[in-house]
Structure 1
Amino acid sequence: MTYPDEIYIKMRSWAEQGLILLREILPSMAPVAQYEGWSKEGRETLAFVLSANARSSESALLLIAFAQLWDAEMLVRSVMEGTFKFCYLLQNRENFEQRHREYSDELFQIALFKDHKKVSELLSIVPNPNDLEWRPLRDRLLSEDEEARTSKAYNATVRRALESRWGFTGLLGELSRSGDNFFCGVGGYAHNFSIASHILHADYTGVSLALDRERRPPAKRDAMLLAHAVRLISDVLECLRLRLMVGYRFVESDTKPVAAAANKIDRLLVSFGDVYKNWMAAEYGEQG
């Protein structure tokens, strides 16, 4: 779909500004990453999570710059989930070791077990499973002892409980109910995550959203495009702000860099103007 040049120019400019700010703020996570209290395993796990969030955040902003908002929506979904997993891990010191063990060990073992089952199914239907071309997949198989041990340690009930607790809905519910002031209002992320899930899974809602927008009158469509782009940029930056807040609290570091980052994020989002108000006026009229 082709849009007016001014729409492309605005979205690219806003996304580029968001990307520049993201890259400017990311080094502020250093006190968390370099905290001396981490074990080797804990430091590595947090490095994995933070790197994944940063990588997907940058990719989402690059897609927004090229007006690929629906694809960006799926990456922002990943950023949200990665952010809440990071926050759940670092919510408090008392639960860190247990939660880290669940995330980096128990859920990892369950994932290997499930991958084993899927690879086994594939190899069972190919005519030449022992040929060299299937070596990369065969290397993913567990030994009989490993499969039996994992199956016994993590039966279906245990697997479902762990995966439910660490899924987005479980994490959001746990953090929302915790009474922790940092997570007041995080339930608002559920709707955006749900929309992204429709798109990711290509259900009827997901595949119809984009075409529904394109069928709108140009004024309504363009106003919605800009509001959507800013909301995605905002989600990426707000997730970064939340990770910084939770990380700095956990390691008990001076929060001045967090306040400075929050101020820069607020200023950038305000600079985009009243895109939501403009869309509401275009969609519903001045009376709403």
Structure 2
Amino acid sequence: MERILSTWAGLSSHFIGECFDTAKPYLDQQFEGMDPYVRFVSAQLFIDCHLSSESSLILVRESKEWDADMINRSVMEGTIKYVFLMSGGASEVREKAFEYWEQLPNFSAIRHHDRALSFLNEVSNPDDPEWIPFKKLLLTQEEIDSLRNGTNKKDRSLLEQKWSFSEITKNFAQSESGGLKLLSHLAHGYGMSSHLIHKDGDGVGMVWERYGRNEIEQSAVKLGHCARIVSDACSFSKLRLFQLLRFCGQETDIIQDIEKRYDLLFDELGKAGKNFAQVEYGQELKK
């Protein structure tokens, strides 16, 4: 088991690394084929998703698939937002980059201010040096007005909804693009991983249920779970690269060329998935 997971994690890390290397020229600040502001925002989100993907694969290697799944959920959301960001004409994409990088963080800064102010009003020693980090979050009314930039509560709510995972996937479901429509179905996996993040009864129950199985079932389910995480990490990496290349007017065939070099990895991941299905649903499959 350890050898298999280590091999999968190592090969997939190289795969997403090749995808990242292919993307680097279009993320570099010297690249002139994209609006500089859009390129900057695009690069930050692309890089962050890649780094988190690496973290997820490290956890798979260490047999920590449940924690890897939670990080993968973050990568899923980041990838969906990346596709959304880089979809549309140049002016539309620049507007979305501004919303993502400036407007939404500005609204968050106001919420941080409100929470910090509420906390400092409750403690008996608000001037104590240990609360300096909270004081750093406080804003003047002038700063708050500037961050709101003339928007009202409804405007802010609509923009935040626009950038939510559920709204973006809903938008994709209504798209004329078959590829984007398929992405809308990621909502199921996103919701299942939410149980793990929130430590609700469903999430804790999934972990508990697995450890109650016999050794053969545990092994099949664990490998199937890890295979899905690794496969997802690779798929999200391909998707971000595809969207970047397409936006830059570049051919995307290079993604298939990279993928072919890792046929063995994807074959093994597929076998693990099929084995899980056989162990989990064998009787039903025979019907």
TM-score, length-normalised on structure 1?
0.91
Summarize the alignment of residues 49-128 of structure 1 with structure 2, pairs less than 5 Å apart: 49-94=45-90, 95-128=92-125
Structure 1 residue 224: deviation in Å?
A: 0.8
Greater mean alpha carbon deviation, residues 56-65 or residues 174-183: 174-183
Partner of 2:172: 175
Greater mean alpha carbon deviation, residues 28-37 or residues 44-53: 28-37
Query: For 1:229 and 1:71, how far apart are their aligned partners in 2?
Result: 11
Partner of 1:26: 20
Structure 1 residue 278: deviation in Å?
A: 1.1
Gaps of 5+ in 1: 1-6
Query: For 1:284 and 1:84, how far apart are their aligned partners in 2?
Result: 31
**Is the contact between residue 19 and residue 241 of structure 2 (CA under 8 Å) also seen in structure 1?**
no
Please give the per-residue CA displacement for 1:187-210, whole angstroms capped at 9, x wherever unaligned.
231111111111101111111110
Whichever residue aligns with residue 26 of structure 1, its letter is F
1:140 aligns with 2:134: no
Structure 1 residue 239: deviation in Å?
A: 0.5
| Structure 1 vs Structure 2 CA RMSD | 1.9
Please give the per-residue CA displacement for 1:84-136, whole angstroms capped at 9, x wherever unaligned.
11111111225212211211121111111111111111211222222332222
Of 187, 191, 199, 1:190 maps to: 187
Partner of 2:201: 204
* Structure 2 CA distance for partners of 1:266 and 1:179, relative to 1, 3 Å: farther
**Is the contact between residue 175 and residue 181 of structure 2 (CA under 8 Å) also seen in structure 1?**
no
Of 3, 6, 11, 1:9 maps to: 3
Query: For 2:284 and 2:192, how far apart are their aligned partners in 1?
Result: 27
Whichever residue aligns with residue 49 of structure 2, its letter is N
Partner of 1:282: 279
TM-score, length-normalised on structure 2?
0.91
* Structure 2 CA distance for partners of 1:262 and 1:93, relative to 1, 3 Å: farther
Partner of 1:3: none
**Is the contact between residue 64 and residue 72 of structure 1 (CA under 8 Å) also seen in structure 2?**
yes
Greater mean alpha carbon deviation, residues 117-126 or residues 240-249: 117-126
**Is the contact between residue 27 and residue 42 of structure 2 (CA under 8 Å) also seen in structure 1?**
yes
Query: For 2:249 and 2:262, how far apart are their aligned partners in 1?
Result: 22
* Structure 2 CA distance for partners of 1:104 and 1:152, relative to 1, 3 Å: closer
**Is the contact between residue 38 and residue 93 of structure 2 (CA under 8 Å) also seen in structure 1?**
no
Gaps of 5+ in 2: none
Please give the per-residue CA displacement for 1:47-97, whole angstroms capped at 9, x wherever unaligned.
210121011100000000111111011100010111111111111225212
Query: For 1:149 and 1:162, how far apart are their aligned partners in 2?
Result: 17
Aligned length: 282
Partner of 2:162: 165
Please give the per-residue CA displacement for 1:152-181, whole angstroms capped at 9, x wherever unaligned.
734332222112211111111112322124
Query: For 2:5 and 2:89, how far apart are their aligned partners in 1?
Result: 41
**Is the contact between residue 228 and residue 269 of structure 2 (CA under 8 Å) also seen in structure 1?**
no
**Is the contact between residue 16 and residue 234 of structure 2 (CA under 8 Å) also seen in structure 1?**
yes
Of 39, 42, 47, 2:38 maps to: 42
Structure 1 residue 20: deviation in Å?
A: 2.1
Query: For 2:109 and 2:177, how far apart are their aligned partners in 1?
Result: 34
